[in-house]
Chains A and B, each alone.
Chain A
Amino acid sequence: MTAVPMTATPPKPKQGFKLTPAALIWPAMLYLILTTQVPFFMTVYYSFFRWNLQAPTPVHPFVGFENYVGLLTDPQNLHIILNTLQLTAGTLIITLVLGASLALLLNRPFAGRALLRTILISSFLVMPVVTAVIWKNMLLNPIFGFFSWFVQLFGGTPIDYLSAHPMGTIIAMVTWEWTPFAMLILLTGLQSLPDDQIEAARLDGANTWQEFRYVVLPHWTQALEVVILLETINVLQVYGEIFASTSGGPGIATTNLPFSVYQRLLQEGNVGVGSAAGVITVVLTNVLAIFMLRLINRNTQVGGH
């Protein structure tokens, strides 16, 4: 994915007391193994047991794939998986379109360009929980919210967006946070395009569209790839926005996988099912990431570097 230059020289640690390079790497590796790999394998292990912390008996029998079968056949749970995909896909598409547009707009020379870019990244830096409470109350409240007033100004009737269009509202909030991310990465990608490539295209008589399609776009692919991958992985894990605005509701309309794991574990004490839902999230994240990486790689060939 990245090309970091490697300095290839044989290690020559001698002198004084012998500190091998491996000894410098192991603490970090060990820490990561203990806090990510080991717990993940434990999650996989737990997912095969019927185990509820609130159950009176401390027995947890091995039940094989029961938790998975339950999760994947119950229409409620399928709904949760679909919610997760809807939230991720919706946010990804909108932020890509908005972020790319903003990046192209900010790539033109005009007064205040750097200032606008600086201001634009703000919403990405806002804590997700803050986003949720501010949007939910001060913007979207059907009576006192700013949006409601704004809608009325143009003769519309304000509605309770969070109950009428819960998923749309969550997507709007997450989009607000992630558009600056897409813009920032895509703008940096645009700006690293060498001048002479554009000039060569112009000399060859390329029009604006051809210039964009055959010069800008191929160069842009890496930045697009980064945006798509990182956003997918991060938006699949959206939690704070949902926790502090809808708590997954109404019903399960905005419950995604991370939020349902939280519910299973902390509200129901269901270790087995919570673990299985966690494993499904990890698998889904990896499958989507690999799938997207492949897709992008294949499309990159067309442009050709």
Chain B
Amino acid sequence: MTTLPQSGTQVPANNTPKKPPVNVLGGLLTALTYLLTFLFFFPILWMVMAAFKTEAQAFQTPPVFVFTPILDNFRVAFERYFPALLNSLGAAFGSTILAFILGLPAAFALAFYTTPRSRSVLTWMLSTKFMPAVGVIVPLYLLFTNLHLLDTLPGLILMYTTMNLPLVVWMMHSYMTEIPYAIFEAARVDGASVWREFFGMALPLSLPGISATALLAVIFAWNEAFFALNLTTSDAAPLSVFIGSFKTGEGLFWAQMSAAAVLTVFPVIVFGWIAQRQLVRGLSFGAVK
């Protein structure tokens, strides 16, 4: 059920002739689309299959396509991966919440109390999203060492907040400008305070935007690797570091590794499927809707 497409995605394509006759070319193109999709999905499919195999089957060549699925790998993987899972959850949700606490008021002010400088403030915030992590890592690493923030969850949360804050401001600003302004004018005539405008109106009216943006922020923080691998080693290591530890050579446990990988990517893929419309908007910072 999770693959159910969003409503509004089924807008009939425009660029094809009306009343297409049953043509060979069309059929071939459709077949090609199916084939390409299968090829792109294959590595994920292969990983999911391996997760349900025994270690021997996972290694076997020629590859095993038919087998009795087992769940042992997930049990073993889950035990080993649990601390990393908690760290990932903490880092992803912690940073998302912090980004919203800082970003929502800013988005609100930029959307409803515009000044001549609002536009450049927004653009500046977006530009910080384009600062490569390697441009800030050296002083942050030294600072984190001195403040004993290396390999701690708060340290990771601080950096992921930096990553998600511009996204939150930019996206929430875009959603809030879609709220009819007349509603606010009416409230102001009635003497509503800024507080009431924010909590009573702007927040409830932009809830769909909040959930879509939060989903994106969680996905980005979840998949992040650079800060995770540079700023954590064990105590605060999230899933990307845990999975990264599987990189060493041969003779490792492919079925177990696959099970851990499936557990890691499955929630993100499902969330992404559900939110694919918002995904486009968020990825392009609202430039493509």
Residues of chain A having any CB pair with chain B under 8 Å: 1-2, 4-9, 11-13, 15-17, 19, 21-22, 24-25, 27-29, 31-32, 35-40, 42-43, 46, 102, 105-139, 141, 143-144, 146, 148-149, 176, 179-181, 184-185, 188-195, 198, 211, 216, 222-223, 226, 230, 233, 236-237, 239-240, 243-245, 247, 257-258, 261-262, 265-266, 271, 274-275, 277-279, 281-282, 285-286, 289
Contact = CB atoms under 8 A, between A and B. Distances in A.
A28 B106 contact: yes
Q: Which 7 A-B pairs have the closest CB atoms?
A: A240-B225, A21-B113, A114-B5, A42-B139, A39-B136, A24-B105, A24-B109
A198 B254 contact: no
A185 B114 CA distance: 30
Nearest to B255: A138
A303 B53 CA distance: 54
A36 to B, nearest CB: 4
A110 B223 CA distance: 33
Given A6-B119, A15-B193, A226-B288, A105 B169 contact: no
A285 B130 contact: yes
B139 A46 contact: yes
Contacts, number: 349
Given A179-B40, A192-B289, A243-B244, A141 B47 contact: no
Given A43-B138, A144-B61, A188 B243 contact: no
A155 to B, nearest CB: 15
Given A4-B286, A107-B13, A108-B13, A19 B194 contact: yes
B219 A125 contact: yes
Given A130-B243, A216-B15, A116 B33 contact: yes
A181 B276 CA distance: 11
Given A7-B181, A275-B138, A129 B243 contact: yes
Interface in B178-225: 181, 185, 188, 191-195, 219, 222-223, 225
Instruction: Indicate the member of B29, B161, B191, B230 with the most A CB atoms within 10 Å.
Output: B230
A2 B286 contact: yes
17 contacts: A1-B287, A4-B174, A13-B194, A31-B162, A35-B140, A46-B138, A105-B36, A116-B33, A121-B272, A121-B276, A127-B225, A127-B240, A127-B265, A130-B47, A144-B59, A181-B283, A188-B280
